[in-house]
């Protein structure tokens, strides 16, 4: 194999690696992991969202109270109800990369009207 072929193969390998390492688009992650409870619009008016009393991310007061680092932690590690010990939201650290979780937090910020 000549040098030019090696360089071309190396370039293709790097390109494929970067494409594979990039996660799904944030809107797709929202739809796949969050919308079932939080709603496509972030209002939390789904059957599950109402049952769990999830926050309305379109509410400016809710947005002001939310801290990015707390949302990142909740998304990565999940949320457990302090009183009952029951899981309110599953952890996504095994399904989403740290960058994907940060993108979801930025996506949630866009719900603010």
CATH at residue 50: 1.10.760.10
Is 35 inside any structural domain?
yes
pLDDT at 106: 97
> What's the domain count of the chain?
1
Is 56 inside any structural domain?
yes
Identify the DSSP state of 52.
H
Q: Give the domain range for residue 79.
A: 24-109
Query: How confident is the chain (113 residues) per 10-residue block, as mean pLDDT?
Result: 54 44 83 97 97 96 96 97 94 97 97 81
List of long-range contacts for 80-88, beta carbons under 8 Å, 24+ apart: 88/52
Q: Is the pTM of this model over 0.75?
A: yes
pLDDT at 61: 96
């Amino acid at each position: 194999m000549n040098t030019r072929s090696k360089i071309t193969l190396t370039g293709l390998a790097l390109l494929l690696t970067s494409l594979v390492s990039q996660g799904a688009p944030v809107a797709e992650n929202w739809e796949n992991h969050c919308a079932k409870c939080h709603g496509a619009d972030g209002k939390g008016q789904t059957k599950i969202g109402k049952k769990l009393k999830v926050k309305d991310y379109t509410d400016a007061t809710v947005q002001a109270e939310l801290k990015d680092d707390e949302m990142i932690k909740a998304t990565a590690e999940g949320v457990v109800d302090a009183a009952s010990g029951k899981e309110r939201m599953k952890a996504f650290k095994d399904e989403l990369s740290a960058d994907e979780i940060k993108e979801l937090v930025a996506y949630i910020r866009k719900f603010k009207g």
